[in-house]
Amino acid sequence: MTKVLIAYFSPGGEAQKMAAYIGEGIRFTGGEPAIMEIADIQVSEDFSGYDGYIFGAPTYSSDVPEPMKNFLSGLPKPYLKNKLAGAFGPFAHDVSYSHDTLAPAIMFKSLQDSKGMIPFELGPMALREDIVETGEGIKACQEYGRIFGRALSEPGNI
């Protein structure tokens, strides 16, 4: 059974909901998700032993929130190197946002560049806040988790 850590920062609650739905998708493939708020994670105790990692945070002013930036920068590379990486997060509609300025895209690139992680085939997932709890949003999150879980459980997918 594959184990996936889904670590999130969610001051408004939307990233937490997305994490739960992504976790459901991982369970659909027989995987075991551990869904945790970053404030509850002790890196030395809680961070090893996972086959893949998915990180989530909302977009603030075309950037990653400071608590998530600090969390990611403090993660030891040995836990993450050559592990499958995903990223997700909600955003409020803002005409100035472009795909590469959303928090999930920034985190996704950083995980590859600074931690040596393997990029998930679907890339980062960003949903408008008002879509997260709709049927469309729930299905999108579950599908992201399902495909991530399948990539880990089927040999040769990574």
**What superfamily does domain 3-153 belong to in CATH?**
Flavodoxin domain (3.40.50.360)
- Residue range 49-87, pLDDT digits in tens: 899 999 999 998 888 999 999 999 988 888 899 999 999
- Range 125-147 average pLDDT: 96
Write the CA distances from 93 to 69, 118, 126, 150, integer angstroms. Answer: 22, 29, 11, 31
Conformation bin of residue 61: beta by default, left when phi > 0, alpha when psi is -120 to 50: left
What number of CA atoms fall less than 13 Å from residue 105's CA on the CB side? Answer: 13
Confidence of residue 153 (pLDDT cuts 50, 70, 90): confident
Q: Which residue has the tokens 């909302």?
A: 58
What is the pLDDT at residue 133? 95
Q: What is the pLDDT of the chain when averaged over all its residues?
A: 91
Token duo for residue 112: 């590859």
What is the pLDDT at residue 39? 94
The dihedral formed by the CA atoms of 99, 103, 109 and 115, expressed in degrees to the nearest 10 = -170
Interior angle at CA 27, CA 106 and CA 46, nearest 5: 60
Task: Report whether 138 contacts 100 (CB < 8 A).
Answer: no
Tally helices (H) and strands (E) across the chain.
6, 6
Write the CA distances from 50 to 23, 118, 120, 142, 155, integer angstroms. Answer: 14, 14, 15, 19, 16
